[in-house]
Amino acid sequence: MRSLEIASTGMLAQQTNVEVISNNIANMSTTGFKRRRAEFQDLIYQTLRRVGSQSADTGTVLPAGSQIGLGVRTAAIYRIGEQGNLSQTDNKFDLAIKGNGFFQVQLPNGDTAYTRDGTFGLSPEGQIVTAEGFPVLPAITIPAAARDVTINAAGEVLAKIDGQTQPQNVGQLQVAIFPNEGGLEAIGDNMLLATPGSGAATLAAPGAAGYGQVLQGFIETSNVNVVQEITSLITAQRAYEMNSKVITASDDMLSTLTQLR
pLDDT of residue 47: 85
Q: Is the pLDDT of residue 173 over 90?
A: yes
In sequence order, the β-bridge partners of residue 128 are 122
Q: Among residues of the chain, what percentage have pLDDT more than 90?
A: 82
pLDDT of residue 61: 82
Residues sharing a CB contact under 8 Å with residue 31, sequence separation 6 or more, in sequence order: 116, 117, 118, 119, 190, 219, 220, 221, 222
pLDDT of residue 48: 82
**DSSP assignments along 175-199, one per residue:** EEE-S-GGGPEEEETTEEE--TTT-
Query: Considering only 11-15, 52-56, 101-105, 249-253, which range has the smallest mean pLDDT?
Result: 52-56
| pLDDT tens, residue by residue, 30-50 | 999 999 999 999 999 888 888
Report strand pairing: 185-188 vs 191-193. Answer: antiparallel
pLDDT of residue 230: 97
pLDDT of residue 186: 95
Angle CA 25–224–78, to nearest 5: 95
Query: What is the C-alpha separation between 256 and 260, in angstroms, rounded?
Result: 7
Summarize the confidence of residues 2-12 as an average pLDDT.
94
Residues sharing a CB contact under 8 Å with residue 81, sequence separation 6 or more, in sequence order: 34, 181, 182
Q: What is the mean pLDDT of the chain?
A: 93
Summarize the confidence of residues 131-153 as an average pLDDT.
94
Q: Is the pLDDT of residue 202 over 80?
A: yes
Residue 109 sits at φ, ψ, to 5 deg, of: -85, 5
CB 50 within 8 A of CB 62: yes
pLDDT of residue 119: 96
pLDDT of residue 109: 95
Q: Is the pLDDT of residue 198 over 90?
A: yes
Task: Give the DSSP H or E segment for 172.
Answer: strand 168-172
| pLDDT tens, residue by residue, 47-99 | 888 887 877 777 788 788 788 889 999 999 999 999 999 999 989 999 999 99
Summarize the confidence of residues 174-178 as an average pLDDT.
96
pLDDT of residue 62: 78
pLDDT classification of 143: cutoffs 50, 70, 90: very high
